[in-house]
Amino acid sequence: MNATAELLGAIREGEESIIGRLYDQHRTRFMIWAKRKFPLESTALIDIYQDAVIILYQNVVEEKVTELSSSLETYLFGIAKHLCLRELRRRRRAISQENEIPEVAVAPEFLRQEEQDHRQTLLKEGLRLLGENCRQMIEYFYYYNFSHEVIAERMSYKSANAVKTQKHRCMQQLKDLLKNASS
Amino acid sequence: MSDINPEELKNVLRAEMRQRLKAELSSKEAKASIRRRLRPLSWAATVLLAALALWFFWPTAAPDGPALFAEHFKPLPNALSPTIRGQEDQVPLDQALMFYDGGNYAEALQQFSDIPEAELPPGGLMYRGLSYLGVKDWNNAIKDLARAEAGPYQLSASWYRALAILAKGDIDEARNRLKTIRDETEHPFREQAEELLSKME
């Protein structure tokens, strides 16, 4: 197993601390490369680099990336390049729109978005109120897609069934929190 | 909102994780930035400390006594007797001074050794001391010049004695004696002493 495959494996295993190593490994070369390529100041490039590293991490966790045909750095810089171009487009748009009257969002779409944002805020708040143990279990199950067996091993539960029971309790607790918050 | 849509939950977890990782990387960057900003300062501090340590602990280069002696030693001209070569009736002192004038200090000392100590005049003592200086026999030079210093050759003997002490490597003692010479306004070797002292600083 080469270093990249090992790194991807560790990310998929939920080793969050690996992100710091990944960040340090490519930061210097990224800054040199990006400063030559894009007319963006260092603070914006650092922000973009952080976002790119997080996207890479989450893409691996969500198995959008399982193996790389190019090097990890090429993939990371590819994401960062896309983000740099998006930032440049956003800035150009902001300048061109400065003197224009802002468009008013179409009501139904606007309301749908608002409703969705509200639900997500409630969910986020609910997860925070659940406590670390439940939050971690839900993250492992719904985000990392870990099986009950893997979660049992990681979180030192006796069995997969014990995880299932605890997860059910956590989800019920979350539903109750949301119900209370909505009412 | 009774049921929780798993996809929606995943989106929230994703956003939450993103926020958490962003905070972690931002904090990492901030720490690294402080380190990067402090790096030139730490280098400067290191260099400064190293310079201070050198200043404190570097052994002060001691003056090279023999080299300074060689630079400043000029034999005192023989004022005791004219050198008349080839005279048969020359007394040992005259012969010694003749060799002294010729710079043959070893032979001069050989001639001085024929003169009984009690018969050696103060001038003889002075030139024997100078001959010892010529052959780099510092201890005997110092001994004779110290005795000469008590007689009519006091001033010259004090200068040559200081030179002998310097050549022997007793720097502090030589410095003190040279300072005394320098501080005597009428001393014939005052300027030489001052020049030598400046080279010893």
Name the pLDDT band for A112 (thresholds 50, 70, 90).
low
What is the pLDDT at residue A111? 59
The pTM for the full model equals 0.57
Residue A170's contacts (CB-CB under 8 Å, 6 or more residues apart) are: A130, A133, A134, A137, A138
Q: Which residue has the tokens 């993939």?
A: A75
A20 touches B at CB < 8 Å: yes
What is the pLDDT at residue B1? 47
Residue of A nearest to B21 (CA): A54
Distances (CA, A) of A18 to A11, B32, B159: 7, 17, 80
Name the pLDDT band for A17 (thresholds 50, 70, 90).
confident
d(Cα A24, Cα A41) in Å, to the nearest integer? 19
Residue A145's contacts (CB-CB under 8 Å, 6 or more residues apart) are: A63
> How big, in percent rounded to 5, are the helix, strand and coil portions of chain A?
75, 0, 25
What is chain B's pLDDT, residue by residue, as a tens digit (201 residues)? 458 889 989 999 999 999 999 999 999 999 888 888 888 888 888 999 999 988 887 766 677 888 888 888 888 887 776 654 545 556 778 888 888 888 889 998 988 888 888 888 888 889 999 999 999 999 999 999 998 888 888 888 999 999 999 999 888 899 999 999 998 888 888 898 999 898 887
pLDDT surpasses 70 at A168: yes
ipTM for the complex shown: 0.84
**How does pLDDT run across B97-136, given as a tens digit for each residue?**
888 888 889 998 988 888 888 888 888 889 999 999 999 9
CA of B45 vs chain A CAs: smallest distance (Å): 26
Q: What is the DSSP letter of A139?
A: I
Q: Which residue has the tokens 């650092």?
A: A46
Name the pLDDT band for A62 (thresholds 50, 70, 90).
very high
What is the pLDDT at residue B124? 87
d(Cα A142, Cα A50) in Å, to the nearest integer? 24
* Inter-chain touch B25–A20, beta carbons under 8 Å: yes
Percent of chain B with pLDDT over 90: 35
B48 touches A at CB < 8 Å: no
Pick from B3, B16, B26: CB nearest A50: B26
List chain A residues with CB under 8 Å of B8.
119-120, 123
* B140, B108 contact by CB (below 8 A): no
Taking all residues of chain B, what is their mean pLDDT, rounded to a whole number?
86
Q: Which two tokens stand for residue A8?
A: 């991807």
Rounded to 10 degrees, the C-alpha dihedral B3/B6/B12/B17 comes to 140
